[in-house]
Amino acid sequence: MSGHRVFVGNLSFTTTWQALKDHMQSASFVPTFANVMGSNGKSKGCGLVEYGSAEEAGAAIAAMNDSTLEGRVLHVREDREERKIGGSNRVNPTRKVQNNEAAKTGPRGESVAGRQVFVGNLPWSATTEDLQDNFTSCGAVLAAEVVTRQDGKSAGFGSVLFETAEGAQEAIAQFNDAEFDGRPMIVKLDKHCK
């Protein structure tokens, strides 16, 4: 499972496992586990986050490295050590399944396979309207959304649904690695929409 895990460094000593998990969910994938490392109740300023696959872990690294949590710029990389991790910080995986099911159909219940793109590494200031405005140059946009956390703040990622698969492909060609307020976006087909 080591390929499914990421190491997160430069955490604030006050960051909890729940805050780390919530922040790392910003990479579009829901972590299955999060833990802040420490001893005797004191944080070591680093943690581990585990995802359901190596692909999800890689996307999390790309999207979340150099992101800010509690005023600290995080260093996110593949966990290179073999460790046993477990315990009560595991997340209920059914939540991810429910999200996947919801993502498979468009506003009229039709399949969105090949027409919806995931947009990651967005600046925290990005809004749904920004996504809609920016991506209309690629084709007719049926829906756009910047995902927000429970506190109402941006999670740093979103999705755009196009009328055609060609629009989605044009979005990937035009915007993947393009900078949005200084952050290179990750734009790819939404893998949950097969």
- Could you tell me the mean pLDDT of each successive run of 10 residues in the chain, 194 residues long? 80 90 81 83 86 88 92 89 46 33 46 85 86 87 82 83 92 90 87 60
pLDDT at 102: 38
User: Do 105 and 149 have their domain in common?
Assistant: yes
Q: How many domains does the chain have?
A: 2
User: Do 61 and 12 have their domain in common?
Assistant: yes
Choosing from 19, 43, 78, the residue where a domain stops is 78
pLDDT at 98: 30
User: Do 131 and 59 have their domain in common?
Assistant: no
pLDDT at 142: 86
pLDDT at 183: 85
Task: Indicate which CATH number applies to the domain containing 172.
Answer: 3.30.70.330
C-alpha torsion 99→155→66→131, nearest 10: 100
pLDDT at 192: 62
User: Do 156 and 104 have their domain in common?
Assistant: yes
pLDDT at 27: 63
pLDDT at 69: 93
Give residue 135's domain range.
100-189
Per DSSP, helices labelled H in 86-164 are 94-103, 128-135
